[in-house]
Each structure stands twice: as C-alpha cells, then as structure tokens.
Amino acid sequence: MTKIAVAKGDGIGPEIMDAVLGIFEAAKVPLQYEVVDMGKWVFDKGYSNGMTPEAQETIESLGILFKGPMETPKGKGVKSVNVTARKTWNTYANKRTFQTLHGVDTVFSKAGIPIDITIVRENIEDTYGGIEHMLTHDVALGRRFITRPGSLQVIKYAFEMAKKKGARRITCGHKSNIMKITDGLFLEVFHEVAKEYPELKADDVIVDDLCMKLVSRPDLFDVVVLTNLQGDIVSDLCAGLVGGLGFAPSANIGDHISIFEAVHGTAPDIAGKNIANPTALLLSGFGMLRHLGLMETSAMIENALLYTLESGVHTGDFGDKSTPALSTSEFAAAIIGNFGKLPANHPKPAIANHYVTPTHFKLEKNPMLESIEMGQEEIVGVDLFIESNEQPTILAEKMLKHTLDIFKLVTISNRGTQVWPKGSVFTNLVNQYRCRFESIGDLPVTQVDVLELYKRVMQDYKVCSTELLNMWDGKKAYSLAQGQ
C-alpha cells in the first residue's frame, strides 16, 4: 500500500476532500494518506509560500500530492500557493480533460454533440513567472519567458499522452502571428516534435480562432496544447462547454512529483454547509489513480459516478431543479451505493490494475535544462528603455548626441509602436520609450561597448531597462517595432 500526500485546502476543500476519500475508502483503494499543512491558514501563520517546511519535505519524499482548492491572501504581496507548488516541483504539464457527462445538461449535450477534449497547458513559464516591475510611475512591465527546453517537456508529454489515448488529432494553440519570438518558439518546437509522431494528425491554430471554433464545433478537437496563460483561459472556456468548473479535473505532471487537484476555487460563501459538488475533485482523483496504475479501481468508481449522474442525482449547482438536491455527503453516499453498476452511455472499460509505485528521488542539485546551442551567437546592439515625456524628435536628437561611432540609432518606439524616424502624430504616448541601437553593418559588439553607451545616455535620462540584441548564425533574435 502506497502513501500519498493530501492537502485538504481552504473553503469547501476539507468537505469535498473528505467526501472523495470516503468514496476511495469504500472502494478499498490501496492508498494511505499523509495530511500536510498547506493553504491560506498557513500563509496567515507566516509561511510566505503557503506550506510548512514539513509539508514540502513530505510531498517531495512521497512524489504524489492530492490537493483541495486553496486561497491566496489578497493584498499581502504573496504568490499563489497553487502556482508556487506547480512551479517549485516543475509539474510542467497541466492536463485537463473535459467530457460530456450524461445528467449534466449543456447546450451541446442537448444538441447531441459529444465533447471529449484534453487541454495540455504549459505549467511553469510564460507570464506566470510573475516577474514584474514599474519602469516609470505610469508604465508597468511583465516579463514573459518561453524556453525551448520547457516547451519541449510539455509538448513531448502532450504527444505521448495523445498517442496512448489513441487521439485522432493534436493541435497547438498559439499567438505567433503577434508574439513571433515567444509563441513562435513554442510553435517551432511543436512542429519539430510532430515529426516524431507521423501517426498523429498535428496542426496549429491561432488562439482566438481556436476559442471561436471551440464554442461552435468543440467535437472537432481532441488534444490541444498551449502556453501557460492561453492554456489557463482556454481550459476554463472548455469547462463551460461541459457544465462548468464543478466538472473540470486537473493533473499537474512532472518528472518527479505530480499534483492532482480540481480546477475550481474555494467557494467560501458555501464553505461548511455540506452542499458543495465534489465531482471535479473526484474526477481529478481518477486521474491520480490511473497515474498510479489503478485502472480497474478507477473505472469501477467512475462508472458508479456516471451511473449516479445518469440517474438524475445531483447537488444544488446542477441538474433538474424540480428534484431535491443532495448534500455533499449524500452525493458521495449515492456514488458508493452504485458501485458495480454501469452507465448506459460510454462505460469505462475495466482494464486490469498494474499498480505503479512512485519513484522517490533524492536530487543532489537542481536539474539544468539546456538545449544544444546551434550556431554562433553575436551581440549586434541594444534596446535601451528610457523614461521621458519629451516628443520623439527631441528625444532622438539627444540620443544621437550620445551615440558611439560603432552604433546607429535605428528606431524609437512607444508601447511597441515606432514613433521615430517615422510615425504618426496621432499615436498616443506614455513616458517610456524604447531606443534601439544597432551596430554599424551588424558587426559584433561587446557588453563593454553597450555599457559605454548606457553610461552616455544616463547623463540625460533614467534608463529603466535594457535588452541585448542577439543574433545566431546571422539570424536576428529580436522583434521589430510596429510600423518599423
């Protein structure tokens, strides 16, 4: 019998977790539970990451965390414990499965359109790095990191999962038409990996078009892989297609540690009333059982859930309002009472258990993810982000005065739109510009050259931030300004 870590969570977390563990106990699931301290009340005790050191040690030693919803205190400058846990343990793939559940009426179920979509969301990078700065009193900057190794991890997982699932299609959602460097890298890795899986139909779609198609023809999609923020938004959209967040499970998969949790929040307005819907957490538990190889056990409980839903049994947040709603504990008892019964629609096959004991790792150092650098790297310029409320022509005159002989001032932009050497007087400005200096003839320069330019410019201006302009094998690794 294997031990896993359990964090019951905040708000409705403890009551829905108790309901799910009660169902598991009745089904004689061969697991032991080590309850750990995580959540808002741990923040309130002074632990800035929302978990005690003992909790972190336990989770890292066991490798599996079954987690209830958790609240992050507002206005205290602390990070979300949910995001912190995923990033700390590098659970790079967030898998969320959305399926038609008979007994949960939606627009699509009434129209007879079946839904079976798996969203795989990159879980570590993107804007969820939470690296933000105020450059001026009017201008905030958030950094967006997309890396080749991070993209490769999640995209490789998505293809492997799609292959095992027998998926008919895998789609990359992206915005590389606008974010050509960051989303462009993610899309590039997707198509590189796709070549290794010729048996799968692999395609890509711009994320806004994807959203439109998901709400009009969701049955056309199977597995969709996206970057972090876009995946977060699209997965909640998909939850709406199948009845809401109360039916949205989540698995956060890493090489060493995996976290299974419901997507929904803590619902403090109904906490302690024994009326919350435990279905999303139970569905997440099925993912955990399958991850551990308990296929037959998971299928037996899931068939009981599906039979219960088909029978019209429901909690207060869904179902036929003319029939009485069950409490959380009553709903769990109804599922237990239906053990051994099969739903009329799409029963889960009873695949034999092949229990997988989580591998326990003792890491001596942080794993370094780095791909092989292809080609020669050169620095050919710098972007200096300047605080100024002057007009572009005046700023350009002063910048030209400070330019070294090896640099030329190529463009000045404001909020990404070029305003010098050409632009429009109708472009509204804020008090922060990007001044791009490129080397003459794209010849390499050194960081010392860049520093000398910085020192000259700072005589007249506050330099808020800098970014080197790099090239690999003669290819520019930076974007142009709008209108450049």
Residues 382 and 365 occupy one common structural domain: no
| Domain annotation covers residue 267 | yes
Strand partners, 42: none
Domain end call among 371, 391, 420? 371
Question: Based on the domain organization, do 244 and 131 belong to the same domain?
Answer: yes
pLDDT at 355: 66
pLDDT at 288: 96
Per the domain annotation, does 174 fall within a domain?
A: yes
Instruction: Give CA–CA dist 44/50, Å, rounded.
Output: 8
Let me know if residue 351 belongs to a domain. yes
Mean pLDDT of 51-58: 94
pTM above 0.85? Answer: yes
Which of 85-89, 452-456, 480-484 is modeled with the greatest confidence?
Answer: 452-456
234 with 110, same domain: the answer is yes
Contacts of 112 (CB under 8 A, 6+ apart): none
Residues 121, 241 within the same domain: yes
Mean pLDDT to the nearest integer, 146-150: 96
Residues 117, 227 within the same domain: yes
Q: What is the pLDDT of residue 443?
A: 86
Q: Quick one: which of 338, 334, 296 has its CA closest to 315? A: 334
Confidence of residue 130 (pLDDT cuts 50, 70, 90): confident
Query: Mean pLDDT, to the nearest integer, of 145-149?
Result: 96
**CATH at residue 394:** 3.30.70.1570
pLDDT tens-place string over residues 204-220: 999 999 999 999 999 99
111 and 206: one domain? Answer: yes
C-alpha to C-alpha distances, 472 to 150, 375, 377, 443, 482, nearest whole angstrom = 20, 6, 5, 13, 23
Same-domain check for residues 321 and 451: no
Segment 265-278 mean pLDDT: 95
Task: Among 371, 405, 423, identify where a domain stops.
Answer: 371
User: Does residue 361 have a pLDDT over 80?
Assistant: no
> Residue 228 in contact with residue 119, Cβ under 8 Å?
no
CATH code of 219's domain: 3.40.718.10
Taking Cα atoms as reference points, which of 121, 142, 125, 328 lies closest to residue 236? 121
Asked if 281 and 363 sit in the same domain, the reply is yes
- Report if residue 484 sits inside a domain: no
The band of 48, judged by pLDDT with boundaries at 50, 70 and 90, is confident
Residues 284 and 407 occupy one common structural domain: no
Domain boundary pick from 371, 391, 419: 371
Is the domain of 421 the same as that of 361?
no
Nearest to 51 by CA among 88, 93, 18: 88
Cβ atoms 243, 101 nearer than 8 A: yes
At 8-25, the pLDDT tens digits run 999 999 999 999 999 999
| Same domain, yes or no: 288 and 357 | yes
State the residue range of the domain holding 29.
1-91+256-371
What gap in Å lies between CA 189 and CA 210, rounded to an integer? 19
Same domain, 18 and 148: no
